Amino acid sequence: MAQYATENIRTVALVGHGAAGKTTLAEALLVRAKAIQAPGSVERGTTVSDFDPLEKTWQHSLRTSVLHLDADGTRVHLIDTPGFPDFMGQAIGALDAVETAAVVVSATAGIEMITSRMMDWARERKLCRLIVVNKIDAENADPEGVLSAIQATFGKECLPINLPADGGKRVVDCFFNPSGESDFSSVASAHGAIVDQVVEVDEALMSLYLDQGEVAPEQLHAPFEQALRDGLRVRAHGRWRGRAAGRPREAGAQSGRRQRSALHQR
């Protein structure tokens, strides 16, 4: 059994409104990390999280489930939570056990009641927050509209770390890539916005940025995490339904019927 130092352990709660795709996203992460060989299905009752007979019957989570996966030398403890209002006590309790709240938003349904409440509860607990825009290749998906709604609701500091490309079939990393093709917006402008905000937390890096006009992505990693912990930025990640695909540079995964995802820890 692998042993991990405390600094190499992450705790993440998947939270958000019911039917946003949290359980399927959890399956995708487990597959990507090779914790399981194939993703289960909520409809078939074969997911790791929803093991209770009632969950299989009703096809949604009724209680929290604790999962784990290993990625890039890091052990990630992942908590899959219910999303419907009747079971919110389970999800709220999970927030006290994690350092990061991954708020999952459907690209078809957009911001819903539990989305906003989870963002508020996570902020009150001073947790790192990231937003996972899921199902971006589903029929009637509107990831561009959802991103706009996220920024209007939660603030312009919600910046896309990834943007969808090829009609939602893949994702382009805006953190490490200063340019690229995307379905909407601009990878270059998204990258520039990330850099502009991140360098604010490091005076030396800010001076370097002002002198050179650009800094290497590797230099941004530590201040990026600091900005997230300080609440200066909330990350908006593009996620979707789909086969496993490329991840940015940290623990990441993709899922079920073309549901993709990537998680940046802390």
Rounded to the nearest angstrom, the gap between the alpha carbon of residue 32 and the centroid of all alpha carbons in its chain is: 14
**Per-residue confidence (pLDDT) for residue 131, from 0 to 100:** 95
| Pairwise pLDDT comparison (80 vs 178), residue with the higher score | 80
Beta bridge partners of 130: 102, 235
For residue range 41-52, list pLDDT tens digits in order.
999 999 999 999
158 contacts 152 by C-beta, under 8 angstroms? no
DSSP annotation of 62 reads S
Query: Does 77 score more than 90 pLDDT?
Result: yes
CA–CA distance, 121 with 132 (Å, rounded to integer): 17
Mean pLDDT computed over 73-80: 97
**Per-residue confidence (pLDDT) for residue 150, from 0 to 100:** 96
| Pairwise pLDDT comparison (163 vs 237), residue with the higher score | 163
Q: Which residue in 199, 201, 177, 200 sits closest to 190, CA to CA?
A: 177
Query: Does 251 score more than 50 pLDDT?
Result: no
CA–CA distance, 222 with 215 (Å, rounded to integer): 13
Q: Which residue in 207, 203, 113 sits closest to 153, CA to CA?
A: 113
- Dihedral sign from CA coordinates of 97, 102, 106, 110: positive
Structure tokens at 44: 């078939």
For residue range 126-159, list pLDDT tens digits in order.
999 999 999 999 999 999 999 999 999 999 889 9
pLDDT band at 1 (very low <50, low <70, confident <90, very high): low
Query: Does 245 score more than 50 pLDDT?
Result: no
**Per-residue confidence (pLDDT) for residue 141, from 0 to 100:** 95
How high does pLDDT run on average in the chain? 86
**Per-residue confidence (pLDDT) for residue 240, from 0 to 100:** 41
**Per-residue confidence (pLDDT) for residue 209, from 0 to 100:** 87
Q: How many CB atoms lie within 10 A of CB 189?
A: 12
Degrees (nearest 5) of the Cα angle 176, 181, 185? 90
CA–CA distance, 30 with 227 (Å, rounded to integer): 28
**Per-residue confidence (pLDDT) for residue 233, from 0 to 100:** 55
AA identity, residue 259 = Q
224 membership: H or E segment, kind and range: helix 217-229
pLDDT band at 223 (very low <50, low <70, confident <90, very high): confident
User: 15: which residues sit within 8 A by CB, 6+ positions away?
Assistant: 22, 81, 83, 91, 94, 95, 101, 102, 103, 104, 114, 118, 122
pLDDT band at 25 (very low <50, low <70, confident <90, very high): very high
**Per-residue confidence (pLDDT) for residue 264, from 0 to 100:** 39
